Amino acid sequence: MNCNATKQDKDVQFDRLFLPDRDNTSAAFHDTADGKVTPAPALTHAQQQIASDTLVLVGLDKSRTQVTDENGTFVAIDRVAQRMEVRALALSSLEDLQTNTTAAMRRQIVRTAQGHGFFSLWMSVFAHDPVMTRMLIEAFEGTATEGFDPETGRSLSPRPSNGLPHAGKI
C-alpha cells in the first residue's frame, strides 16, 4: 500500500513532514525487528515531532489500516506484517550476498528491493555495505540523495537543505 493512498488529499504543511523525495527518510525513521516504524532515536525533539506527524499522516503509526479500494470496498492492510516479511527477505538477501559477493548478486538484491519496496528497511539491513547502500539510493527513483554521503551511502541528515522556503517540495 502506497503512503500517498493513505495520505490521500489531506492538506499538509511541507515543513512539518519528512518526505522521501526531499528528505532522507532513512535517517528520520527506525524500522524495528517487530515491523514497527518509529522516529529515529538520534533526532532532535523538533525532528521527532515531525517524524511522528509524518507517521500519523501516512498511516505508518498503525499496524492495521482500513482503506477503500478502487471499488469502494474496505480493505485491511497489515503494514507491520508486510514490513516484517520484507525485513526477513532483506536479511536473507544479506546472507546470500555474504556467501556470493558478486556484482550480479548485488544487482539482483537491488531488483528484489525495488519489487518489494520499504527503502529505509533495505538501507537499514545493508547499512554496513557502502556499495549496496549507494546502489539502493540510485535504484529507488525519487529518493532525495542530498542526505547521504556520496562515498559511503551513510545517512547524513534527515532534512538536507534544498534551498526552498519552508522546506518546500522540489
What does the DSSP assignment read for 10-68? ----GGGS--TTTS-HHHHEEE-TTS-EEE-TTS-HHHHHHHHHHHHHHTTT-SEEEEE
In a domain, 134, yes or no: yes
55: closest CA among 33, 25, 15? 25
The answer, yes or no, to whether residue 100 has pLDDT greater than 90, is yes
In a domain, 169, yes or no: no
Q: Do residues 24 and 159 make contact, with C-beta atoms less than 8 angstroms apart?
A: yes
Mean pLDDT of 56-65: 69
Q: Round to whole Å and give the CA distance between 113 and 137.
A: 11
| Domain count along the chain | 1
133: closest CA among 149, 118, 144? 149
Q: How confident is the model at residue 31 (pLDDT cuts 50, 70, 90)?
A: confident
> Model's pTM, two decimal places?
0.67
In a domain, 145, yes or no: yes
SS3 151: coil
Q: Do residues 80 and 34 make contact, with C-beta atoms less than 8 angstroms apart?
A: yes
Q: Which domain holds residue 29?
A: 12-152
In a domain, 1, yes or no: no
Q: How confident is the model at residue 73 (pLDDT cuts 50, 70, 90)?
A: low
In a domain, 162, yes or no: no
Whole-number average pLDDT of the chain? 76
In a domain, 6, yes or no: no
In a domain, 125, yes or no: yes
pLDDT value for 69: 64
